[in-house]
Every structure is written in structure tokens, then in C-alpha cells.
Structure 1
Amino acid sequence: MEKIAIIDMGSNSIRFLVLEIADNRSYTLLYQEKETIRLGVGLAQSGYISADGIKRALNSLKMYRHIMSVMGVNKCLAVATAAVRSAKNGREFLETIKQETHIHMEVITGEREAYLGYLGVINTIRERDFLLFDLGGASIEMTLVRQGKPEKSISLPMGAVTLTERFQLQNTVHMDTLQACQKYIRKKLLTVPWLHNINIPLIGIGGTARTFAKMDQKATNYEFSKIHNYQLSLSRFTDIYEQVTTRTHANRKKIPGLSGDRVDIIVAGATVLKEVFALTASKEMIIGGCGLREGLFYEYYAQYFQLPSPQIENILEFSITNFIGTLGSAVHRIHCKQVTRLTLQLFDQLQPLHRYGRRARTLLMTAARLHDVGKTINFYNHARHSAFMIGHAPLYGLTHREQLIAGFIAGFHHGISRKTLIAYRYAQMADADDWIMIRKLSTLLALADASDLTYEQVVQDFSITIQDDIVVLVITSAPDSVHEAADYAMKQYIKQFKKEFHMSLVLIWK
């Protein structure tokens, strides 16, 4: 077992994570902290990190050092970005940190910062072609990704804090000042020819992107408060941008989702985003909650286990396996593997009947593998607990809606129940067609789960024949096995099968 701390000291804030890597290769986030330290304040004018900024950073780092000691952290990865690498007193500042906190902090280049952000995103979001940008307090890193691989990358020395100071955007913004800022940003971006009219999604990491997601979620009454992988259209961005840039400082504070420590720098950050949208001709921004810190972790994880690459090939498979690995013995892994195999057999052989494709199969697979995770909360009503846990688990490679649908499929694996619907607040995020699919797929999961009622893996295979309005399910059982309990359990879902598929189901054991 290994406990690792990660510190990311940026121009606006400092972030601290503690993760635990278990002997079974699963990892868990144990602790997270963020402080606003504003190292970038005054940097553009003086070239130096201010004494106040240094004091704020040291106070945070001393607290982190104490937490590491209390939690028994074995390894600390600490990096500093744009403010420190551009400050004239940056090296002196790092030496002070080492002397007063015993934390060795590495200043990373803009190129490495972009690469680590890429690792954090490519391992947690399914997109393959996108422009990744990380807008910080003093710089913006951008990476063009095609077919999942980084093609081009650049770091430009402009960020939310430094632009705010340069154009005095803290308070009420005048149109001529805003236009001057826009012109300055556009001129910087135009020096990057590979940005022009790429017309692919943006993926934004950093505080400004996350704040836009929070404001949009509040404005649209989006009930699912998860930020990572939230999708924001250009039209929705434009609506919020108009609010942010036309309100007085006092009225900006009233915008739901805009935190008080970002009110003064949001105009500059928003203006950068607007110009990136315009130059790239992108129509959508996906917000990444994972970035540089997660990239550092995946890089370390790959080295720790001597993996060939820190880039994960199948991020959904990896995250499901990791989640299961963190749950202990409450989840019967052999049973879940058996149920998943048989559920997918039913899905594949009934495809002419339900006509769902590969993505639906993926959601069903996710639900089947995790259908019993609710037992870690309470055995009773565990299907409902599973629905909630799957919906909120750190699963990557699914959209918000897909993850909730997978949770609902699992939530009905003991039969379709209004109690589950009433107990689960996100029901309206699935539309009417989704609910038809959920009911059908949960019926297949329920049948497969019933076939392993005794956890003995009695069933070897399913074979289906569709004749007129009858589905004949031939069940091959293991030699010398007793299948009466499984047969009884499966027959409880014959009525539900007919209701959902409008076909009679006949079970034949062989």
C-alpha cells in the first residue's frame, strides 16, 4: 500500500490531494484541499511574487505538510506552474518553501504542464478529437488532440489574474476596456496557426471553465451537480458571458454558481474563453474536473506498477475495476462476473427484438458489473443503493446521462419498482425512450441475476430462439448441478419480460 500526496501550486490557487494505492492496484482519493493564494497578483507589473502571496502559499504548504505527517503519506509530488516559472524571485521562493516546509517543489515547463493536463483528461473523458485548454492565473496551455494523441501544444503567458490586472477588470467593466482586452487576447491566439477553424469540441480545465459549468447548472436547474464531463454549448456560454461582462461588480456577486473568490477575475477568464471559441469555430465546451493533478497521479501510477504507458486504453473498464477494488468483500466478484457474462448473452441474442446498439450494451455491462455494489451500504434494498452509487461513482467514459441510466438499470435488477423511482432524484434526466430501454435492459439483468441466485454458477450458457411471439430460452446447466432454485427465481420475471418485450418467455433447462 502507498499513500501519495500531490500539490499543484498555480498562479491563483494551490491544490492538495492525498490518494491511497492499495495492493490490489485500486486507488482512492482520501483528502482534497484548495486555497486561493493569488501568486500572480502584481507579477505582470513588478516581475516578482509579492510578499503576501508568498505568505499565503507558505501557510497552506505548512498545513499540507502537517496533514501528510498525520496521514502517513509515503510520497509527495509537488509542482509549481506559470507564476513561479516567470517570477524573478521564483527560485528564491522555492528555496524558502524547502527550508520552511521540507517540501521539494518542481517548477514545470508550459509544455509539461500541457502534457500532464492531457493525461488527466484523456484518462477520464471519452473524446478523441478535441482542443484541450488549461486556463490558469498567469498562463493558458493548449493541446490539439487527434485520435486520442496530442499533435500540437503551446503555452501562452496570459491568464485570468494577469489579464485582470493588466486591463483593470476587477470591478465594473467598461466596453472600451473589454474590447482592448479582447484585442490583446485575439492577437496572442492568432500567433498559433493550428487553432484556426478546427471546429472540434473544446475541453476546458481550470477554475474559469469549472465556474462556467457551475453557473450554467444553476441557471438551468441541472440537478446533477457533477462538474467533470459537463457539456456546455456555445449558445449557453454566450448567455452567461453577457451576464458576467455587463454586470457591475456588486451584481456579479449575485450570479448563482459564481464563487466570491472568483468574482474579480471571472471577466478576464471569460474573455479568453470567448476568443478561443471564436478562433476555433467550436460549438461546445466540455468541462474537465480532472487535469494536471490527475495527470501527475496517472504518470506515477504507471511507473509504480511498471505499466507500458500512463495512458489508459479502456478508461471505463479501468474505472469500473478500480471502483470495485475499493469496495472490499461486500461485492461477490465471481457472482458479478457470471451475471455480466449471462446478461450480455441475453442482450446479444435478443438484439433482433430490442434493436439496441453498442452503446446500450456498454451501459448494460456497467450496470451488470456493479449491480450489487449497494450491499456495501446495506444488504436490504441494495438495488436502490446500487443505483445511487453507480450514478455518483468515479466512472470515466460515460456522459452524465449515461452514468445515471446505468445506475437505473442496476436499480431494477430485483424487478421494476416505483420505490426506486421515488427514492432517486434524477429520474427526469432520462427521457421517455431512455426509460423504455432501461426497463428492457433491467429485465435482462434481473433474469441473469436470478439464474445465479445461489452463487454457484449453475448456468453455463443461454441460447435463444425467437418463434412468432415466443422467446425460447434454453439454459445449459453445469454437470451434476441443482438448478431448481434458479429456475424458480427466473420464472418470477416471465410476466415482466412479456410486459416489456411483448413476447412470451419459455425456459427450458438442459
Structure 2
Amino acid sequence: MSTSTRIGIMDIGSNSIRLVIYELGANGGYRVVSEYKESARLSERIGDDGILHLEDILSIVPILTHFSLLCTNHEVTTIRSAATAAIRNAVNSREIVDILRRETGLPIEVLSGAEEARYGFLGVINTIDIRDGLIVDIGGGSTEVTLFRNRKMLHSISFPFGSVNTTSQFSKDGFVGEDRLPDIRRMVLAALSEHPWIQSSPGLALIGLGGTIRNLGKMNQKRQKYSLPIAHNYMMQGDEVEFFLKLLSGLPLDKRRRIDGMSKERADIIVPGLTILDTIYKAAGASACLISGSGLRDGLFYEAIRPEQPMVDDVLEASIQNLLRLHPNAAGRHVQQVNKLAMKLFDDIADSEQLYIQAENKPLLHAASLLYRVGVSVHYYQFSRHTQYVISQARIDGFTHREMLLCSLIAAYKTKSRNHQMVLMHKDILKESDELLIMKLAALLQLSIAMDRSEIQAITHATARIKGNELQLKLTCNHDPFLELKEIADLDKEFQKMWKLKLIPE
């Protein structure tokens, strides 16, 4: 009998309606197990009188009913259904919700602009290690802008324009070309001028949410032939945003759809969305554009599982521990011991005046030492290859893309030649000096694994001291460390190549 529970989050947006089903294990580990999306374009159905008419309300009932059946099929125990700008801003908002509740039986809630911004902030702050920034969430019918400092929200505002309703406002035939961009910019700038805090902190990163920005990132990754096709925490520069705005606004719809990475159903609304993004980016004086794959739906989920404290204190550690809970065969006392020994080795070497190792690399070794066995959950044999894939593809929140790759290669290191091949595969992300960094940190990890080869903690503690060309290891034992000493001796030759130090256990 399963001890996990499943939570369904329905996002009734202005452009699309989405369902995400999360699984929460008894040990606290969680993951997305299924996701569904249907286009609705609610914002463009609202008339000049601000009313969403009955036939348009009823048109989304089959989608919600189908999503409800999917939740039943997936044994979802809790459903949270949240409606955003299109329904919120409609004149007959209350009537819409009453009809949808009656027809579907779902407990639909209408989020205020402030609530939508807060949930988007939660999604970002729990999954990206950033203290200060400006969040811009461009939906179909609204754009939320949030300023945060020291991981705390300072200001937020919901503007009543998004990619869908801006397209409707500035186009009669559903096509917005470059000739309408100045008008859209004027509208956005006029709205921004009423909130001077948006332009009060130049130099901050802009963290982008929503389909417009995710699609922009996908197109840029295709253009750059980016070797790690993960949207979350992908960084773009302002000139790259401007490049695609100029390119797409000058193309007819059929040619837009042919752009590699372009979502076919977004081709008609992406130009207004990008114009909103580009205008805010420039007005705020942002330093870069970070794409967040986590937003409103994730924020709703975090509140559902941790209502009293939905924010995590340490993004990286929370992500590592969640991954370990999802792969319980990779956890246990052995992994904790390897981590303890690796951290002590790092600190002892960092304190040495003879060798310099940058403290900023310690989190890489910390994560790698805890996660080096996650591949066992796929198969024990060649588990290091599975580990490399799991770490690089499963997303470690709190790490940049480069750091994720480094962690995966440190944890899975086997040979210099294979490491060289992997570094070449990701040469667009990794630095030239990273190849040596991986090998040196991997050597520390391998030494830490060797010191608990029996997995019974025969060596309880170890301290390292550099003397001449030796790394002297003072070992405290509670069992005969026969296997451990043999592994250390076998490792000595490779360790000397990396660190120019001979291993001397005492």
C-alpha cells in the first residue's frame, strides 16, 4: 500500500489551463508525476463590456471536468484550483466562479493580483539561490512585477495587460507586427511610471516567469545550440531578448512558426509578450534575464505542503535532501559519513598555506558527496553513469547550470578520458579550467569514499595535514580499517597526479 499522497494544482490562466500533479512521499520527498495543458485564451473572449459570456464560460467546463477525472485516475487527495487575471478582471467574475463551481464541483478560488505575485515569488525564491531581484510574470491577461531584497518581498503590482489581451487590444486580425511596438511600449511605460520602485534598483537580475519567457529561452537555446536543454535558471542577456523581439516582429505568422523552438500556439501572441518584457527590462535597468521554470503553481504547492512556513531557508540544501528522499537507496549512514569526511578534507586542505582551494567550490563537493550514489536507484552496475545523468537532468535548485554539470561530473568521475569527453560535450557552459577542478574535487570525493569502503564507519574521523609532498591522514577507528587502507593505497597514484601529494594514512 502506497504511503504517498498526491496533490493536484489547477491553474485557470488567461491563455491556458494547466493541471500539475505532485506526489508527496511519506519521507517528505516530492516530485511532479504528471502535467496537462489546454489552450483556453480566456482573455481574448472577454468583450468590450468586460463580460465573459455564458457560452465562453461553459466552453472551459469540459477541460476542468476532464482535469478532475485525471485527478481521480491519479488518486489525487487534494485539489487546489486557482483562477487568475481573465476571471479576476471580468465584470461578472463572481458569476463565472459560481457557474464553474456548480458545473465541475471544483473548489475554484480567484487569486488577487497580490496573491498571484506572492505565489510566483514563492516558486522563484524556493528554487533559485538569489537574494535580490525583480520578478516579471507575463501571463495571458496580466503582468505581475515583484521587487525582493534579501529574499523578502518589498513591492508587487499586477498590471492588467499580458500577451493575449495586449494582442487583442493592438490587433484586429490577431497579428501584431513591428509597427505596433511603439504603442505597446507607451502603454507599458505609462503603467510603470506610476510605480517608481520598479526603476529604483538598476543592476538587479530580472527573473522571468510565464510561457512567453520560457518560449524565448527555448528559442535562444536552440539558436545557441545550448548543450543542457533545461529552462529553469537559464540566463539570457538583454540583447538576446531584443534580438528575438526584432526578428519575430518582422515576420508573418507562418514564418514565426518555423523558428526552431517556437511554440506553434504561441506564435501570434509572443511579440506583445516580448515587448512587455523588453520594455520592463530596459526601464528597470536589469543586468540579466533569468528564466524560472517554477512559479505560481509551485508556490501554491509549497503552501499546500508547508502552510506555516512555505519558504525554504536554504535552496540548495532543500533540493539535495529532496533528491535523496526520492532516491532512498542512495542515502544512509555511508553517504553521510562520506560527506562528513569530504567536508573535513576540504577544510583541512583549504586551511593549508601550501595549497589554495577556493571556498566557493565547497558546495560542489558537498552536493557530490551526498548524491554520488543516486544512480543506484536505476541500476547498481555502472551506477556512476546513471548518477551523472540524474544530477544533470533532475535539476538541483540552488545551482547554476554550470554548477549542476560540475557536481554531476565530480560525483560520477571515473577516468580522465571520460571526464575530458564530457567536458567537451558541454564546452559552451563549462570553463576551460573546470576540467582540472572536476578531477581535483573528484579525487577528494574518491578518497572520502575509500575511507568508508566497508560502509560500517570503521574510520570514524580523519584529519589531514600537508607536510612537504605528503598528505598525512590521521585516522580514528573503531574497527580494523582493512578494506579502507587497501582502497587508500590503490587510490594513491591517481591522487598524486591530481594534488601532487602522496597519501600517508596514520
TM exceeding 0.5: yes
1:3 corresponding residue in structure 2: 6
Say whether the 8 Å CA contact 1:169–1:265 is kept in structure 2: no
1:366 corresponding residue in structure 2: 367
Q: Return the match for 1:503 from 471, 482, 501.
A: 501
Alpha-carbon shift at residue 470 of structure 1 (Å): 2.0
Alpha-carbon shift at residue 42 of structure 1 (Å): 3.5
Provide the C-alpha distance between the structure 1 equivalents of 2:424 and 2:12, rounded to a whole number of angstroms. 37
1:65 corresponding residue in structure 2: 68
Instruction: State the AA in 1 paired with 2:162.
Output: G
Alpha-carbon shift at residue 169 of structure 1 (Å): 7.8
1:440 corresponding residue in structure 2: 440
Alpha-carbon shift at residue 324 of structure 1 (Å): 1.0
Q: Call closer, same or farther: CA 1:386–1:174 in 2, change over 3 Å.
A: closer
Provide the C-alpha distance between the structure 1 equivalents of 2:343 and 2:487, rounded to a whole number of angstroms. 19
Provide the C-alpha distance between the structure 2 equivalents of 1:458 and 1:363, rounded to a whole number of angstroms. 26
2:332 corresponding residue in structure 1: 333
Deviations 1:355-384 (A, max 9, x none): 233321001100000000111111111112
1:144 corresponding residue in structure 2: 147
1:357 corresponding residue in structure 2: 358
1:484 corresponding residue in structure 2: 482
SS at match of 2:334: helix
Q: Return the match for 1:214 from 205, 218, 243.
A: 218
Q: Return the match for 2:121 from 112, 118, 122.
A: 118
1:386 corresponding residue in structure 2: 387
Q: Return the match for 2:253 from 245, 249, 252.
A: 249
SS at match of 1:223: coil
Instruction: State the AA in 1 paired with 2:489.
Output: K
* 1:190-205 alignment runs, 5 A limit: 190-199=193-202, 200-205=204-209
* 1:47-446 alignment runs, 5 A limit: 47-49=50-52, 53-168=56-171, 173-199=176-202, 200-303=204-307, 308-328=308-328, 330-351=329-350, 352=352, 354-412=355-413, 415-419=414-418, 422=421, 426-428=425-427, 429-446=429-446
Provide the C-alpha distance between the structure 2 equivalents of 1:279 and 1:322, rounded to a whole number of angstroms. 38
Say whether the 8 Å CA contact 2:123–2:295 is kept in structure 1: yes
SS at match of 1:213: helix
1:494 corresponding residue in structure 2: 492
Instruction: State the AA in 2 paired with 1:348.
Output: D
Provide the C-alpha distance between the structure 2 equivalents of 1:67 and 1:260, rounded to a whole number of angstroms. 25
Q: Call closer, same or farther: CA 1:320–1:52 in 2, change over 3 Å.
A: farther
SS at match of 1:461: strand
In the comparison of the two structures, how many residue pairs are matched? 499
Instruction: State the AA in 2 paired with 1:255.
Output: I
Instruction: State the AA in 2 paired with 1:339.
Output: V
Q: Call closer, same or farther: CA 1:42–1:299 in 2, change over 3 Å.
A: same
Instruction: State the AA in 2 paired with 1:457.
Output: Q
Deviations 1:338-363 (A, max 9, x none): 00000111111112355233321001
Deviations 1:95-146 (A, max 9, x none): 2222222111000100011011111110001111101111111111111101
Instruction: State the AA in 2 paired with 1:364.
Output: L
Instruction: Report the identity percentage.
Output: 31
RMSD: 1.8
SS at match of 1:493: helix
Say whether the 8 Å CA contact 1:169–1:267 is kept in structure 2: no
TM-score computed with the length of structure 2 as normaliser: 0.95
Deviations 1:55-98 (A, max 9, x none): 54222211111111112111111100110011133322222222
Structure 2 segments unaligned to the other structure (5+ residues): none
Instruction: State the AA in 1 paired with 2:380.
Output: F
Worse overlay, 103-112 or 418-427: 418-427
Provide the C-alpha distance between the structure 2 equivalents of 1:170 and 1:192, rounded to a whole number of angstroms. 32
Say whether the 8 Å CA contact 2:167–2:176 is kept in structure 1: no
Q: Call closer, same or farther: CA 1:7–1:173 in 2, change over 3 Å.
A: closer
Worse overlay, 125-134 or 42-51: 42-51
Provide the C-alpha distance between the structure 2 equivalents of 1:208 and 1:507, rounded to a whole number of angstroms. 57
Q: Call closer, same or farther: CA 1:332–1:149 in 2, change over 3 Å.
A: closer
Alpha-carbon shift at residue 35 of structure 1 (Å): 1.4
Say whether the 8 Å CA contact 2:83–2:110 is kept in structure 1: yes
Provide the C-alpha distance between the structure 1 equivalents of 2:406 and 2:356, rounded to a whole number of angstroms. 17
Say whether the 8 Å CA contact 1:38–1:53 is kept in structure 2: no
Q: Call closer, same or farther: CA 1:297–1:499 in 2, change over 3 Å.
A: same
Q: Call closer, same or farther: CA 1:464–1:424 in 2, change over 3 Å.
A: closer
Provide the C-alpha distance between the structure 1 equivalents of 2:471 and 2:454, rounded to a whole number of angstroms. 25
Say whether the 8 Å CA contact 2:176–2:268 is kept in structure 1: no
Alpha-carbon shift at residue 49 of structure 1 (Å): 2.5
Provide the C-alpha distance between the structure 1 equivalents of 2:355 and 2:240, rounded to a whole number of angstroms. 35
SS at match of 1:338: helix
Provide the C-alpha distance between the structure 2 equivalents of 1:386 and 1:424, rounded to a whole number of angstroms. 16
Q: Return the match for 2:31 from 4, 23, 28.
A: 28
Worse overlay, 417-426 or 485-494: 417-426
Q: Call closer, same or farther: CA 1:313–1:169 in 2, change over 3 Å.
A: farther
Instruction: State the AA in 1 paired with 2:100.
Output: I
